[in-house]
Amino acid sequence: MTSAPTVQPASLRPRALRQAEGVKLRKSVPRTKQADWQPPKNRKDPVSILMEQGTHRIPALLPVRYARMAASPFAFLRGAAAVMASDLAGTLSAGPKVQSCGDCHLANFGSYASPEGIPVFDINDFDETFSAPFEWDMKRLGTSLVLAGREGGLSESASRALARTMAQTYAQEMAKLAPLNPLAIWAERIDLSAAIAGFQDKQARKKVQSLLDARLESARSHFGLVAEDCGTPRLTEKPPLVVRLPEQDDTIRAAFARYLATQPPERAILLSRYTLQDVIFKVVGVGSVGTFCAIGLFATADNEVLLLQIKEAQTSVLAPYLAPSPFRNQGERVVTGQRIMQTASDAFLGWTHSGGTDEVDSETGTQPIGQRQFYVRRLKDQRLAAIGAEFAQIGLPDYALLCGRTLARAHARSGDVATLSGYLGAGRAFADAIATFSTAYADQTKADWKAFCAAIKAGRISAQLPGTAKKVPAASKKKS
């Protein structure tokens, strides 16, 4: 049986002492040193890292993944979490750890409905979640903001300012949370409508609220995935990204059955009212392309529908560089990380596997060979979840503020808030360092992206858009 994450003894000491210890950390790990990024001479080839990761994915979907990554430096960053994890492992850390997202970029923030139906803004992707240095999430988020600013036509100084603003807001939010009691910190959430009302850009505020209203309305129609014209509800194909894979159908149905059999009694009662009627497979995201992802349609005898998503959970990209995970199932790791970081989590979260042994490799901490491990959740409205990335296109400066605030709240749920606040301080030293690192690593990402596109051109890897015979052009023909 998996043990719960332990409380660090330091967190049981008075706030004032912990805050003072955070201030002392500045001497051993100066905040200005957080700016440092210089690729080591023995840096592993990014394309090799991605190819190694691809050996654990569905081969037929790898060209889709690579095509999506080739679209731009930012798209490459989204799919290259393993590359950045390798690089972050060699950077300076002050010491405090948090439950990290592990793949913290601006497109992995978004909205979902709380149990009360209120649109909440939060991190919404936890496939790589792990206990890690708090700086790692901030540096990845800052890099994504710089790249998004550049691609959106902002000047170099304005793009850099996005990362600085995010980091400054993070520090301010941490200072705001530091005096609160643990229960108050745990209950903090960001009401999306209230956050939008606070946007400085009036035009962005109006556009974003209108977009949110439209998305909330669309969420009530099962996302267009359910057909009821035959009397019995069934899932509809939307080739090439939502399709039936008959050869994998039994695997997914068996995994769903294991999930149902292991639910706590109160949820088992609810789920017993439904029967699994249909299964369909879905290609999702950029970094996740190539992993198993399916939707299960559950229905009552009166054809009332519940949609659950089952998604493969592989070993976190952070795992090779940190202490071993206490979880035997990677799906359990994802679910636990989500429950820790999100204020309002999905009641249907759970984990399962495809069968076989549960034994984890004791040396590498990786999942059993031949066994696929999954987490289950209620199908989220992808249009509502993706609203964060669209907010960014409308008002990137306001979005950077919102992401910094959100990340601080997520980290505060597991981290030592007083120590973090003491280290960060009220000035701009830390924020300037994060901005400098993010700008430098954005340059690194662009260089890696060009090398990646060159590998495609040379035939080292194959990239093809789904449903077409069109291959991805070389980097030299793309805009940076």
pLDDT at 480 over 60: no
Q: What is the pLDDT of residue 129?
A: 98
pLDDT at 218 over 70: no
Q: What is the pLDDT of residue 1?
A: 42
pLDDT at 234 over 80: yes
Q: What is the pLDDT of residue 478?
A: 43
- Predicted confidence (pLDDT) per residue in 301-316, tens digit: 999 999 999 999 999 9
Q: What is the pLDDT of residue 223?
A: 60
Between 172-176, 209-213, 380-384, 421-425, the lowest mean confidence (pLDDT) is in 380-384
Q: What is the pLDDT of residue 211?
A: 76
SS3 395: coil
Please state, in angstroms and rounded to a whole number, the distance separating the CA atoms of residues 472 and 68.
9
What torsion do the CA atoms of 129, 130, 135, 139 make, to the nearest 10 degrees? -40
Please tell me which residue, 92 or 190, carries the higher pLDDT value.
92
pLDDT at 282 over 80: yes
pLDDT at 7 over 80: no
pLDDT band at 476 (very low <50, low <70, confident <90, very high): very low
CA distances from 439 to 34, 101, 146, 165, 397 (A): 12, 21, 6, 13, 16
The share of the chain scoring above pLDDT 70, in percent, equals 85
Residue 46 corresponds to which tokens in the numbers above? 């990014």
Q: What is the pLDDT of residue 238?
A: 83
pLDDT band at 9 (very low <50, low <70, confident <90, very high): low
Q: What is the pLDDT of residue 386?
A: 62
Between 181-195, 230-244, 297-311, the lowest mean confidence (pLDDT) is in 230-244
The whole-number average pLDDT for the span 464-478 is 56
Nearest-5° angle of CA 102, CA 195, CA 172? 60
pLDDT band at 469 (very low <50, low <70, confident <90, very high): low
pLDDT band at 182 (very low <50, low <70, confident <90, very high): very high
For CA atoms 387, 392, 393, 398, give the dihedral sign. Answer: positive
Q: What is the DSSP letter of 354?
A: S
- Predicted confidence (pLDDT) per residue in 326-345, tens digit: 998 999 999 999 999 998 88
The whole-number average pLDDT for the span 54-79 is 92
- Predicted confidence (pLDDT) per residue in 420-441, tens digit: 999 999 889 999 999 999 999 9
pLDDT band at 477 (very low <50, low <70, confident <90, very high): very low
The whole-number average pLDDT for the span 82-86 is 98
Please tell me which residue, 413 or 239, carries the higher pLDDT value.
413
Q: What is the pLDDT of residue 181?
A: 94
Q: What is the pLDDT of residue 51?
A: 96
pLDDT at 2 over 60: no
Q: What is the pLDDT of residue 284?
A: 75
Q: What is the pLDDT of residue 172?
A: 97
- Predicted confidence (pLDDT) per residue in 96-146, tens digit: 999 999 999 999 998 877 767 777 889 989 999 999 999 999 999 999 999
Please tell me which residue, 207 or 154, carries the higher pLDDT value.
154
pLDDT at 369 over 60: no
The whole-number average pLDDT for the span 346-354 is 91
pLDDT at 168 over 90: yes
Please state, in angstroms and rounded to a whole number, the distance separating the CA atoms of residues 317 and 128.
6
Q: Write out the DSSP string of 107-172.
A: GGEEEEE-TTS-EEEEE---TT-EEEEHHHHHHHHHHHHHHHHHHTT--HHHHHHHHHHHHHHHHH
Please tell me which residue, 247 or 461, carries the higher pLDDT value.
461
Q: What is the pLDDT of residue 364?
A: 47
Q: What is the pLDDT of residue 138?
A: 98
